[in-house]
Amino acid sequence: MTFDNASPTEGTETGDSSETVQTAWDGSNAPSTAVIEAVAAAKGQDAIEMPPLYDAFDVDALDNLLTSGGTAVEGNIAVSFRYNGTYIWVDSGGMIEVDPDEAQSE
Residue-level pLDDT at 35: 94
Structure confidence by residue, pLDDT tens digits, 9-66: 433 332 334 578 898 888 888 999 999 999 999 999 999 999 999 998 899 999 998 8
Query: Treating both helix axes as pointing N-terminal to C-terminal, what angle do 59-67 and 31-43 enclose, rounded to 10 degrees?
Result: 110
DSSP string, 12-32: TTT--EEEEEEEE--SSS-HH
Residue-level pLDDT at 17: 40
The answer to whether 92 touches 24, Cβ cutoff 8 Å, is no
